[in-house]
Amino acid sequence: MNYLVVGTGGVGGSIAGFLALAGKNVTCIARGAHLDAIRQQGLHLKSDLKGEHRLPLPAFTAERYDGTADVIFVCVKGYSIDSIADVIRRAARPDSLVIPILNVYGTGPRIGRLVPGVTVLDGCIYIVGFVTGAGEITQMGKVFRMIFGARPEQGIAHSRMAAIAADLQTAGIQAEVSDDINRDTFIKWSFISAMACTGAYFDVPMGAVQHEGTVRDTFIGLSAESAEIGRRLGITFPEDMVTHNLRIIDRLDPHSTASLQKDIARGHQSEIQGQLFDLLALGEQLGVDMPVYRQVAAKFR
């Protein structure tokens, strides 16, 4: 299959790098100095799972890409979704599948509304990956898990998605086709929100969340409040959400931080709207008492 990765940051760059190492046909969409470096020197992947590699990959701006792809991974930040609608529209054939991998909930339907006629699934990812220089991606730790799937009304054959999962697994990515992608993307939203908001609120790496104390208690409180939102939305969780979130956080590299936290520290645009304020607003709309989220939001308003 022919893969297109739209947004070659920490997540997209890791996906592209792992697929390329496995010999898959993958093209990147990037911009600025990052794009120039990839074109001139290849994608520089530094990975705890795969080691260090320079990978010659075709790379384009969204405006200059004129090809098509069987599978399009959308890996931009939530605030950039509107800007990539045109490249998706041009790159998608009638049988193409678009898989958004973002840290906000409801992304698949949102992109689908922007590109009617294109099949947009939904997905989420568990990884610590970030840009460490122009053309350079660092994947940290042993966790690289992707979950994606179709909503029931889309009627996509499981075999089509299973073929993509098989390619990802061959590349060393723990890929799963979800039987309830609405549930699984909400679970990821709950986790990344608690992780990013805790790290940003205290300005600490994940090691501080892995030890008993105020920081960990805040992470637990955020996880419990978002879990109640999910229950009121009718989502059935396979296990207690606090237990789930703690298990994941405890497996992360203790020096790692969320991209939202990095962006805030650098004064860059961040996904704080989608990962904090949108979740808080939804909870209040559903009548969920959210004292910990309100406490965190007060710092960033």
pLDDT tens digits, 233-268: 999 999 999 999 999 999 888 999 988 999 999 999
Architecture of domain 183-300 in this structure: Orthogonal Bundle (1.10)
State the span(s) of the chain assigned CATH 3.40.50.720.
2-179
In this predicted structure, the answer to whether residue 78 has a pLDDT above a threshold of 90 is no
3-state helix/strand/coil string of 193-232? HHHHHHHHHHCCCHHHCCCCCHHHHHHHHHHHHHHHHHHH
pLDDT tens digits, 85-110: 999 999 999 999 999 999 888 899 99
* Adjacent-strand bridge partners of 74: 6, 100
Query: What residue has token string 């299973």?
Result: 162
pLDDT of residue 121: 98
Residues 256 and 262: beta-carbon distance below 8 Å: no
Fold assignment, 2-179: Rossmann fold (3.40.50)
Q: Which two tokens stand for residue 158?
A: 């499981």
Residues 23 and 91: beta-carbon distance below 8 Å: no
pLDDT tens digits, 161-172: 999 999 999 999
State the span(s) of the chain assigned CATH 1.10.1040.10.
183-300
